[in-house]
Amino acid sequence: MAASVVLNLRNLDRFKRELRGGRSREVRGALDEWGRLYADFTKRRFVKFSRGGGNWRQLAQSTIEAKRRRGAANPTRILVDTGLLLGELEPRVGGFSGVRSTKRGMQLRLDMSAMSSSYARGNTTGDVAGYHNTGGGRLPRRQIFIQPTKELRRKMAQAMQRAIRAWYKRTRV
């Protein structure tokens, strides 16, 4: 004898439509929190690594001397000269358009448009962060944006769980 179970997934479909359409204020709030969490993580890591506490290649002596001649306050700090890059290190999750579902789970696209201050040669802070993140030529790779750590992923999951519970409570599905 076979048994069958019928599940009514209408409310799950409704949630998926709201998520895709960007209508769920709870999930929008969770995505904003993800952006804040990732920005805070990135800034703390940047400060630690710029002081030599990570795996970024140390500055060449010629770079340190050039920074001294320009009057840099901390000529040995890596990727810190004017403070512009660190000051604008505010990656944001690109809203609902920045989230996509894949076979490996949800993927986020970071929006660097807020990093728009210009350097003397016309590059924006977003451009400069991108150059250093990938490296190339004589420029060593110093990753600024990395995958979230296990602890950060846990905090992000908690934020989304709170959002889903709030959505469920609000819609009474």
Q: Is residue 2 part of a domain?
A: no
- Is 94 part of a structural domain of the chain? yes
Tell me, yes or no, whether 4 lies in a domain.
no
Instruction: Tell me the pLDDT tens digit for each residue of 115-161.
Output: 677 776 788 888 888 889 899 888 999 999 888 899 999 999 999 89
Give the long-range contacts of residues 165-172, CB within 8 A, separation 24 or more: 166/26, 167/15, 167/18, 167/24, 167/26, 167/27, 170/26, 171/11, 171/14
pLDDT digits (tens, 9 = 90+) for 60-83: 999 999 999 999 889 999 999 888
Domain-embedded: residue 10: no
Tell whether 8 is covered by a domain: no
- Asked whether residue 42 is assigned to any structural domain, the reply reads yes
Range of the domain at 52: 24-171
Instruction: Please count the structural domains in the chain.
Output: 1
pTM: 0.77
Domain-embedded: residue 46: yes
